[in-house]
Amino acid sequence: MVRRILLASDGSASAKGAEALAEWLGYELEAQLVGLFVRDSRWIRLPEFLDLGALSLPLPAYHQEIEQALTVKGEGILGRLEDAARMAGVNFARQLETGVPAEVIVQEARTADLVVLGRQGENHPEGQVLGSTAERVVRASPVPVLLAPPAYTRPERLLIGYNGSEPAVRALHFAAPLAVGLGLGVRVLSVDDTPSRAEDLAREGAEYLAAYGLKAEPVALQGDPAERLLELQGAADLLALGAFGGGPVRRWLLGSTTEYVLRSSPAAVLVVR
Protein backbone atom coordinates (compact mmCIF):
# COMPACT_ATOMS: atom_id res chain seq x y z
CA MET A 1 0.00 0.00 0.00
CA VAL A 2 1.28 3.45 -0.92
CA ARG A 3 1.22 5.74 2.13
CA ARG A 4 4.17 8.05 1.41
CA ILE A 5 5.01 9.47 -2.01
CA LEU A 6 8.30 11.24 -2.74
CA LEU A 7 7.99 13.87 -5.47
CA ALA A 8 11.35 15.09 -6.73
CA SER A 9 11.03 18.30 -8.74
CA ASP A 10 13.37 20.96 -10.06
CA GLY A 11 10.44 23.20 -10.96
CA SER A 12 11.09 23.01 -14.69
CA ALA A 13 8.43 22.71 -17.37
CA SER A 14 9.43 19.06 -17.78
CA ALA A 15 8.49 18.40 -14.15
CA LYS A 16 4.92 19.73 -14.38
CA GLY A 17 3.46 16.38 -15.39
CA ALA A 18 5.14 14.64 -12.46
CA GLU A 19 3.94 17.32 -10.04
CA ALA A 20 0.32 17.00 -11.16
CA LEU A 21 0.45 13.19 -11.21
CA ALA A 22 1.96 12.99 -7.71
CA GLU A 23 -0.67 15.35 -6.31
CA TRP A 24 -3.46 13.26 -7.86
CA LEU A 25 -1.95 10.08 -6.43
CA GLY A 26 -1.67 11.66 -3.00
CA TYR A 27 -5.32 12.67 -3.09
CA GLU A 28 -6.72 9.40 -4.44
CA LEU A 29 -4.60 7.19 -2.17
CA GLU A 30 -4.86 9.47 0.88
CA ALA A 31 -1.08 9.34 1.06
CA GLN A 32 1.42 11.88 2.33
CA LEU A 33 3.16 13.77 -0.45
CA VAL A 34 6.76 14.76 0.25
CA GLY A 35 8.13 17.43 -2.07
CA LEU A 36 11.90 17.27 -2.54
CA PHE A 37 14.14 19.91 -4.09
CA VAL A 38 17.86 19.18 -4.30
CA ARG A 39 20.39 22.01 -4.38
CA ASP A 40 22.85 20.52 -6.85
CA SER A 41 26.25 20.51 -5.16
CA ARG A 42 27.92 20.41 -8.58
CA TRP A 43 26.55 23.88 -9.32
CA ILE A 44 27.66 25.15 -5.93
CA ARG A 45 31.20 23.94 -6.60
CA LEU A 46 31.25 25.16 -10.21
CA PRO A 47 33.50 28.22 -9.54
CA GLU A 48 36.27 25.85 -8.46
CA PHE A 49 36.51 24.63 -12.05
CA LEU A 50 36.30 28.02 -13.78
CA ASP A 51 39.06 30.42 -14.76
CA LEU A 52 37.98 33.61 -12.99
CA GLY A 53 40.91 35.66 -14.26
CA ALA A 54 41.57 38.82 -12.26
CA LEU A 55 38.49 38.46 -10.05
CA SER A 56 39.59 38.41 -6.44
CA LEU A 57 36.36 37.37 -4.69
CA PRO A 58 37.18 34.32 -2.48
CA LEU A 59 35.70 31.01 -3.62
CA PRO A 60 33.67 30.56 -0.41
CA ALA A 61 31.79 33.75 -1.30
CA TYR A 62 30.87 32.31 -4.70
CA HIS A 63 29.77 29.06 -3.04
CA GLN A 64 27.59 30.93 -0.58
CA GLU A 65 26.01 33.09 -3.27
CA ILE A 66 25.16 30.12 -5.50
CA GLU A 67 23.82 28.08 -2.58
CA GLN A 68 21.68 31.01 -1.46
CA ALA A 69 20.24 31.40 -4.97
CA LEU A 70 19.41 27.70 -5.13
CA THR A 71 17.82 27.88 -1.68
CA VAL A 72 15.55 30.73 -2.75
CA LYS A 73 14.61 28.81 -5.89
CA GLY A 74 13.93 25.60 -3.97
CA GLU A 75 11.83 27.31 -1.32
CA GLY A 76 9.76 28.93 -4.04
CA ILE A 77 9.11 25.63 -5.81
CA LEU A 78 8.28 23.79 -2.60
CA GLY A 79 6.02 26.61 -1.48
CA ARG A 80 4.11 26.45 -4.76
CA LEU A 81 3.72 22.68 -4.46
CA GLU A 82 2.60 22.94 -0.85
CA ASP A 83 -0.04 25.57 -1.68
CA ALA A 84 -1.42 23.42 -4.51
CA ALA A 85 -1.46 20.30 -2.33
CA ARG A 86 -3.28 22.03 0.49
CA MET A 87 -5.92 23.34 -1.89
CA ALA A 88 -6.41 19.77 -3.13
CA GLY A 89 -6.65 18.39 0.41
CA VAL A 90 -3.34 16.51 0.24
CA ASN A 91 -1.04 16.12 3.24
CA PHE A 92 2.24 17.73 2.16
CA ALA A 93 5.75 17.87 3.64
CA ARG A 94 8.71 19.69 2.16
CA GLN A 95 12.38 18.71 1.99
CA LEU A 96 15.25 20.91 0.83
CA GLU A 97 18.53 19.02 0.53
CA THR A 98 21.99 19.51 -0.95
CA GLY A 99 23.93 16.98 -3.00
CA VAL A 100 23.94 15.22 -6.36
CA PRO A 101 20.21 15.01 -7.25
CA ALA A 102 20.07 11.31 -8.19
CA GLU A 103 21.99 10.27 -5.09
CA VAL A 104 19.82 12.37 -2.77
CA ILE A 105 16.59 11.12 -4.34
CA VAL A 106 17.67 7.49 -3.94
CA GLN A 107 18.63 8.11 -0.32
CA GLU A 108 15.33 9.83 0.53
CA ALA A 109 13.42 7.05 -1.26
CA ARG A 110 14.31 4.71 1.58
CA THR A 111 11.51 6.24 3.64
CA ALA A 112 8.95 6.37 0.82
CA ASP A 113 6.70 3.83 -0.88
CA LEU A 114 6.90 5.42 -4.32
CA VAL A 115 9.09 7.97 -6.10
CA VAL A 116 7.58 10.27 -8.73
CA LEU A 117 9.67 12.45 -11.03
CA GLY A 118 9.78 13.75 -14.57
CA ARG A 119 11.68 11.96 -17.28
CA GLN A 120 13.75 15.07 -17.92
CA GLY A 121 15.32 17.77 -15.81
CA GLU A 122 15.89 21.49 -16.22
CA ASN A 123 19.34 21.05 -17.76
CA HIS A 124 18.33 18.14 -19.97
CA PRO A 125 20.24 17.88 -23.28
CA GLU A 126 18.05 18.58 -26.29
CA GLY A 127 17.12 15.48 -28.26
CA GLN A 128 17.21 13.06 -25.33
CA VAL A 129 13.93 11.69 -23.97
CA LEU A 130 15.25 10.27 -20.69
CA GLY A 131 17.42 12.39 -18.42
CA SER A 132 20.49 11.09 -16.61
CA THR A 133 19.00 11.78 -13.15
CA ALA A 134 15.82 9.85 -13.96
CA GLU A 135 17.78 6.93 -15.38
CA ARG A 136 20.07 6.74 -12.34
CA VAL A 137 17.13 6.89 -9.94
CA VAL A 138 15.30 4.09 -11.77
CA ARG A 139 18.41 1.90 -11.63
CA ALA A 140 19.18 2.50 -7.94
CA SER A 141 15.93 3.32 -6.13
CA PRO A 142 14.95 0.89 -3.36
CA VAL A 143 11.27 1.51 -4.11
CA PRO A 144 9.21 1.67 -7.34
CA VAL A 145 9.71 4.75 -9.52
CA LEU A 146 7.01 6.46 -11.57
CA LEU A 147 8.34 8.54 -14.45
CA ALA A 148 5.95 11.10 -15.94
CA PRO A 149 6.02 12.97 -19.25
CA PRO A 150 5.90 16.80 -19.21
CA ALA A 151 2.18 16.91 -20.06
CA TYR A 152 -0.20 15.55 -17.44
CA THR A 153 -2.96 13.13 -18.40
CA ARG A 154 -5.03 11.58 -15.64
CA PRO A 155 -4.58 7.78 -15.81
CA GLU A 156 -7.71 5.78 -16.61
CA ARG A 157 -6.24 2.32 -17.10
CA LEU A 158 -3.31 0.29 -15.85
CA LEU A 159 -1.34 -1.76 -18.37
CA ILE A 160 0.91 -4.37 -16.75
CA GLY A 161 3.70 -5.97 -18.73
CA TYR A 162 4.08 -9.50 -17.39
CA ASN A 163 6.59 -12.16 -18.45
CA GLY A 164 6.76 -14.26 -15.29
CA SER A 165 10.21 -13.00 -14.24
CA GLU A 166 10.92 -11.97 -10.66
CA PRO A 167 10.84 -8.22 -11.47
CA ALA A 168 7.57 -8.72 -13.38
CA VAL A 169 6.05 -10.57 -10.44
CA ARG A 170 7.04 -7.74 -8.11
CA ALA A 171 5.52 -5.23 -10.52
CA LEU A 172 2.30 -7.24 -10.64
CA HIS A 173 2.10 -7.41 -6.84
CA PHE A 174 2.77 -3.68 -6.44
CA ALA A 175 0.33 -2.70 -9.17
CA ALA A 176 -2.63 -4.70 -7.83
CA PRO A 177 -3.45 -2.59 -4.74
CA LEU A 178 -2.53 0.54 -6.69
CA ALA A 179 -5.19 -0.25 -9.30
CA VAL A 180 -7.73 -0.85 -6.55
CA GLY A 181 -6.92 2.41 -4.78
CA LEU A 182 -7.06 4.43 -7.99
CA GLY A 183 -10.10 2.66 -9.47
CA LEU A 184 -8.29 1.84 -12.71
CA GLY A 185 -9.24 -0.71 -15.31
CA VAL A 186 -6.46 -3.25 -15.86
CA ARG A 187 -4.95 -5.15 -18.75
CA VAL A 188 -2.18 -7.73 -18.43
CA LEU A 189 0.05 -8.01 -21.50
CA SER A 190 2.31 -11.01 -22.01
CA VAL A 191 4.52 -11.29 -25.09
CA ASP A 192 6.13 -14.55 -26.15
CA ASP A 193 6.94 -16.14 -29.49
CA THR A 194 5.10 -19.24 -28.30
CA PRO A 195 1.38 -18.26 -28.34
CA SER A 196 0.37 -20.78 -25.69
CA ARG A 197 3.02 -19.52 -23.25
CA ALA A 198 1.96 -15.89 -23.82
CA GLU A 199 -1.65 -16.89 -23.12
CA ASP A 200 -0.70 -18.80 -19.97
CA LEU A 201 1.31 -15.87 -18.61
CA ALA A 202 -1.41 -13.32 -19.32
CA ARG A 203 -3.99 -15.56 -17.69
CA GLU A 204 -1.71 -16.10 -14.69
CA GLY A 205 -1.43 -12.36 -14.14
CA ALA A 206 -5.17 -11.82 -14.51
CA GLU A 207 -5.92 -14.61 -12.03
CA TYR A 208 -3.68 -13.01 -9.43
CA LEU A 209 -5.43 -9.66 -9.86
CA ALA A 210 -8.83 -11.33 -9.47
CA ALA A 211 -8.02 -11.86 -5.77
CA TYR A 212 -8.10 -8.06 -5.45
CA GLY A 213 -11.51 -7.87 -7.07
CA LEU A 214 -10.01 -6.67 -10.34
CA LYS A 215 -11.42 -7.93 -13.63
CA ALA A 216 -8.23 -7.72 -15.64
CA GLU A 217 -8.19 -8.30 -19.37
CA PRO A 218 -5.45 -10.78 -20.36
CA VAL A 219 -3.71 -9.93 -23.65
CA ALA A 220 -1.30 -12.37 -25.29
CA LEU A 221 0.84 -11.25 -28.23
CA GLN A 222 3.94 -12.28 -30.15
CA GLY A 223 6.88 -10.17 -31.26
CA ASP A 224 9.13 -7.66 -29.56
CA PRO A 225 7.97 -7.02 -25.96
CA ALA A 226 8.88 -3.32 -25.90
CA GLU A 227 7.19 -2.61 -29.21
CA ARG A 228 4.03 -4.48 -28.20
CA LEU A 229 3.86 -2.61 -24.89
CA LEU A 230 4.18 0.74 -26.63
CA GLU A 231 1.61 -0.20 -29.28
CA LEU A 232 -0.91 -1.11 -26.60
CA GLN A 233 -0.26 1.82 -24.26
CA GLY A 234 -2.53 4.81 -24.77
CA ALA A 235 -2.03 8.35 -23.47
CA ALA A 236 -4.26 7.57 -20.48
CA ASP A 237 -2.59 4.24 -19.69
CA LEU A 238 -0.25 3.94 -16.73
CA LEU A 239 2.26 1.29 -17.76
CA ALA A 240 3.76 -0.92 -15.04
CA LEU A 241 6.66 -3.27 -15.65
CA GLY A 242 9.62 -4.86 -13.94
CA ALA A 243 13.21 -3.78 -14.56
CA PHE A 244 15.41 -4.72 -16.37
CA GLY A 245 14.54 -7.41 -18.89
CA GLY A 246 15.54 -8.11 -22.45
CA GLY A 247 18.07 -10.23 -24.29
CA PRO A 248 21.75 -9.47 -24.88
CA VAL A 249 21.21 -8.18 -28.41
CA ARG A 250 18.62 -5.59 -27.31
CA ARG A 251 20.77 -4.57 -24.32
CA TRP A 252 23.73 -4.05 -26.68
CA LEU A 253 21.82 -2.17 -29.36
CA LEU A 254 19.05 -0.33 -27.50
CA GLY A 255 19.30 -1.23 -23.84
CA SER A 256 16.82 -3.44 -22.03
CA THR A 257 13.10 -3.62 -22.72
CA THR A 258 12.58 -1.32 -19.75
CA GLU A 259 15.04 1.29 -21.01
CA TYR A 260 13.57 1.23 -24.50
CA VAL A 261 10.06 1.72 -23.13
CA LEU A 262 11.17 4.55 -20.85
CA ARG A 263 12.79 6.36 -23.75
CA SER A 264 9.83 5.88 -26.08
CA SER A 265 6.62 5.82 -24.04
CA PRO A 266 4.21 8.75 -24.53
CA ALA A 267 2.70 8.34 -21.06
CA ALA A 268 3.62 7.57 -17.45
CA VAL A 269 5.67 4.45 -16.70
CA LEU A 270 5.96 2.70 -13.33
CA VAL A 271 9.17 0.70 -12.92
CA VAL A 272 9.54 -1.90 -10.17
CA ARG A 273 12.98 -3.43 -9.54
Least confident of 61-65, 134-138, 209-213, 265-269: 61-65
Q: Could you report the per-residue pLDDT of 90-142, keeping only the tens digit for each?
A: 999 999 999 999 999 999 999 999 999 999 765 544 444 577 899 999 999 99
Q: How far apart are CA 202 and CA 253, in angstroms?
A: 28
Q: How confident is the model at residue 47 (pLDDT cuts 50, 70, 90)?
A: low
Q: How far apart are CA 269 and CA 85, in angstroms?
A: 23
Are the beta carbons of 154 and 182 closer than 8 angstroms?
A: no
Q: How confident is the model at residue 41 (pLDDT cuts 50, 70, 90)?
A: confident
pLDDT computed for residue 1 by the predictor: 87
Partners of 188 in the beta sheet? 160, 218
Angstrom CA distances, 135 to 56, 118, 177, 213, stand at 39, 11, 26, 34
DSSP-derived secondary structure for the chain:
---EEEEE---SGGGHHHHHHHHHHHHHHT-EEEEEEEEEHHHHTGGGGS--TT----HHHHHHHHHHHHHHHHHHHHHHHHHHHHHHT--EEEEEEEE-HHHHHHHHGGG-SEEEEESS-TTPPTT-SS-HHHHHHHHH-SS-EEEE-SS-----EEEEE--SSHHHHHHHHHHHHHHHHHT-EEEEEEE-SSHHHHHHHHHHHHHHHHTTT--PEEEEE-S-HHHHHHHH--TTEEEEEES----HHHHHHT--HHHHHHHH-SS-EEEE-
| 183 burial via Cβ count (<10 Å: 0-12, 13-18, 19+) | exposed
Model confidence at 188: pLDDT above 70: yes
pLDDT computed for residue 102 by the predictor: 96
Q: Which of 31, 15, 116 has its CA nearest to residue 74?
A: 15
Model confidence at 253: pLDDT above 50: no
Task: Report pTM.
Answer: 0.89
Q: Which of 2, 66, 58, 49 has its CA nearest to residue 29?
A: 2
pLDDT computed for residue 65 by the predictor: 85
Model confidence at 33: pLDDT above 60: yes
Give phi and psi for 165, each to the nearest 5.
-75, 165
Angstrom CA distances, 91 to 18, 109, 235, stand at 17, 18, 28
Report the alpha-carbon angle 164-168-172, nearest 5: 105
With a CB cutoff of 8 Å and minimum separation 6, the contacts of 65 are none
